[in-house]
């Protein structure tokens, strides 16, 4: 029985924008993607990142001298309810995924901050300048914190049947997710002569408890694990099929790197400038000036373009940026005769 032959898929290149990536923010760019895959993959990743990335948070506390959230403490400016709200904003990183404890013991006139907390070795306090309470000269604050791992949001887990706990424990709502915001943007990009492929930009903003690169790795692992259970037979090896196709395609279009096109596709130079998708203003100025093909444009200099009527520096900057995206630049001095020689050489090699 013959094996079925499948058409390959376009495999994306995935990169992080190095100029903007930090411990709390990152922008991922994936391109080219099959038409429509930008929204499909972007939405899937975004929803998983927002809902399912694990994090840790304080889920309960014992405040010495307090047995409910409506109490007050002598010498403490804030009431217990405000202190609890401040505690809920503590950002933690858990290096093992195991539950942990933290302790705070401070007295005298002080501004109590997260940096005053002593945590277990596997817990890391992120927002150390965050204020928890203000103490007067006769104030004293002793708190034991209980930290757990989880996903998303968890309401306070009060035990059923008792209003006050014997140990004085107060339970808190917990927001485990370290994600502040996730945005996706999908643009069109070019593959060969086709311009309907997708380019996905995924921007991730965290609270510092998780690195954006680790967040994407985690979300991808979740999606892959879930989708594997939808397979009812052996997985189709699209990675291998598509890689083979890319190799054969690149072999067909590889040009002489030392030639006039420096390894770029010859047909690109002979295409109309419409293919480069300039703004209406820049496009019209070029066409009126008789510049209708890519080769006509790349053979010009900055000064040549600025001499064109109504063509200013803003349009020049746009043209140079778009040319760069295609691996082109002004002043290439490409001769059409040389292009035809390269084309003939390719045709001859294909025939042989």
| CA R_g for the chain | 30
- pLDDT at position 186 is 93
CA distance 268 to 60: 64
Domains and CATH numbers, the chain: 13-52+179-241 (3.30.1360.10), 54-175 (2.170.120.12), 253-351 (1.10.150.20)
Give residue 165's pLDDT.
75
Residues 111-160: tens digit of each pLDDT: 999 999 999 999 999 999 999 999 999 999 999 999 999 999 999 888 88
Q: What is the pLDDT of residue 100?
A: 95
pLDDT value for 352: 55
Q: What is the pLDDT of residue 174?
A: 94
pLDDT for the residue 2: 54
The CB-based long-range contact list for 99-103 (8 Å cut-off, 24+ gap) reads 99/146, 99/147, 99/148, 99/149, 100/56, 100/147, 101/144, 101/145, 101/146, 101/147, 102/58, 102/144, 102/145, 102/147, 103/143, 103/144, 103/145
pLDDT at 123: 95
Over its length of 352 residues, how does the chain's per-residue pLDDT go in tens digits? 457 788 888 888 899 988 888 989 999 999 889 999 999 999 999 999 999 999 999 999 999 988 888 888 999 999 999 999 999 999 999 999 999 999 999 999 999 999 999 999 999 999 999 999 999 999 999 999 999 999 999 998 888 877 677 788 999 999 999 999 999 999 988 776 677 889 999 999 999 999 999 999 999 999 999 999 998 888 888 878 776 554 444 433 334 444 555 556 777 788 888 878 888 888 889 988 999 888 889 889 888 898 898 888 888 988 888 888 777 888 888 888 777 777 777 666 655 5
In this predicted structure, what is the pLDDT of residue 116?
95
What is the predicted pLDDT for the residue at 188? 87
């Amino acid at each position: 029985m013959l094996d079925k032959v499948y058409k390959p898929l376009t495999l994306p290149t995935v990169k992080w924008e190095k100029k903007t990536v930090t411990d709390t923010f990152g922008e991922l760019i994936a391109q080219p993607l099959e038409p429509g895959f930008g929204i499909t993959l972007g939405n899937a990743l975004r929803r998983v990142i927002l809902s399912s990335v694990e994090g840790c948070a304080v889920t309960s506390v014992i405040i010495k001298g307090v047995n409910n959230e409506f109490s007050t403490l002598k010498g403490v400016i804030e009431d217990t309810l405000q202190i609890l709200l401040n505690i809920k904003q503590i950002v933690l990183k858990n290096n093992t995924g195991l539950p942990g404890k933290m302790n705070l013991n401070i007295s005298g006139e002080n501004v109590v901050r997260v940096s005053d907390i002593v945590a277990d070795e596997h817990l890391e306090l992120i927002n150390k300048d965050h204020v928890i309470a203000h103490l007067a000269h006769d104030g004293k604050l002793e708190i034991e914190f209980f930290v757990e791992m989880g996903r998303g949001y968890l309401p306070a887990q009060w035990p059923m049947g008792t209003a006050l706990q014997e140990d004085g424990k107060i339970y808190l709502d917990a927001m485990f997710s370290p994600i502040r915001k996730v945005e996706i943007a999908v643009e069109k990009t070019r593959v060969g002569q086709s311009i309907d492929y997708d380019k996905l930009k995924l921007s991730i903003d965290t609270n510092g408890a998780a690195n954006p690169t680790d967040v994407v790795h985690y979300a991808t692992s979740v999606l892959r694990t879930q989708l594997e259970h939808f397979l009812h037979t052996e997985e189709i090896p699209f990675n291998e099929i598509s890689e083979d196709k890319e190799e054969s395609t690149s072999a067909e279009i590889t040009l002489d790197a030392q030639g006039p096109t420096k390894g770029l596709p010859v047909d690109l130079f002979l295409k109309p400038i419409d293919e480069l998708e300039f703004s209406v203003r820049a496009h019209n100025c070029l066409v009126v000036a008789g510049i209708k093909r890519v080769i006509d444009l790349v053979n010009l200099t900055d000064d040549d373009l600025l001499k064109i009527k109504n063509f200013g520096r803003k349009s020049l900057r746009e043209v140079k940026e778009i040319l760069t995206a295609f691996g082109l630049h002004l002043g290439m001095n490409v001769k059409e005769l040389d292009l035809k020689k390269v084309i003939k050489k390719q045709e001859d090699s294909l025939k042989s």
